[in-house]
Amino acid sequence: MKWFNSVGLGSIVIGCLTSSALLAQNMSAVAMLAEVKSAVESARVVLDVPYVDNGHARQRLDLYISKGAKEPVPVVLWVHGGGWSAGSKTRTPAVALLPRGYAVVSVGYRLSQDAKFPAQIDDCQAALKWVRDHAKDYGLNASRVGVWGASAGGHLGALMGTTGNPDDQTDVQAVVDWFGPADFRTGYGSANQTNPIHQLLGASPTQDRAKASAASPTAQVSKDDAPFLIFHGAKDLLVPLSQSQGLHQALKDAGVESELVVLDNAGHGGREFLTPVMRDQIVTFFDKHLREANESQP
């Protein structure tokens, strides 16, 4: 299994960190990539697993399981971005967690041209249920599952964190949200039918306020939600920083653990999100919430 073909992260990081002013950070990034490459190449990889019977072609997931990890292994679901109308489960930066003893499940889901909301969150929750149902088959810890997503995937991950229910096994124990839209009730998203939010909902947020609210993580916040770690670029021109600020404040007001990290020089993604420091911060967060208190760290 080739690292760049399966993930595509290494060339992004190295290509963005080559100036002499960033030499130390570049060397750190190269060391991280070498560590992750080794972990991916030695991992057990199971691709294109259908998580619903006789489902859509996109209702599939990929599993990456570190062979050296202590079983049962905590799990992080990766949910890709792409405006709910593009993107793929085949490119996941979450494999950077493999050397730290995590299993990674990259989730595919029906796009907005395939089905309208709530199909996307239904798919993510169905994938989560599949992971829990098959945890023993793959040495996974069904009670220690986190989710990490970017942009549209951050939105869906945040919805998983605010709507999950332990009674039907749709609850997650931690959420990392990279610059996901969080509140469609604010008028975010135009009435233009080509707008991604309009395509997701099948109507503009102002035309279908009930669906806009149901699709808004901020509107679903309650005191029982999973802890959040939210990252957002201050120069994001696609998803306003105010979207993450509002979600963070709603979580804090409800008594839910939440940390918002604003990256001053970052836009909607980019090299600032792909550094060893970022990876370590995410690992520390998942370690806190997905590992048993007495479990030794890898």
Assess whether the previous peptide bond of 196 is cis (omega < 30° from 0): no
Q: Six-digit token pair at 78?
A: 């990766």
Give 11-25 pLDDT, tens digit per residue. Answer: 323 333 334 434 455
Give 92-139 pLDDT, tens digit per residue. Answer: 999 999 999 999 999 999 999 999 999 999 999 999 999 999 999 999
- Which residues of the chain register pLDDT less than 70? 1-27, 29, 189-193, 292-298
Distance, in Å, from the CA atom of 70 to the CA atom of 42, rounded to the nearest integer, reads 15
Question: What does the longest C-alpha to C-alpha distance in the chain come to?
Answer: 54
- List the domain boundaries for the chain: 44-290
Its CATH class, for the domain covering 44-290, is alpha beta
- 0.75 exceeded by pTM: yes
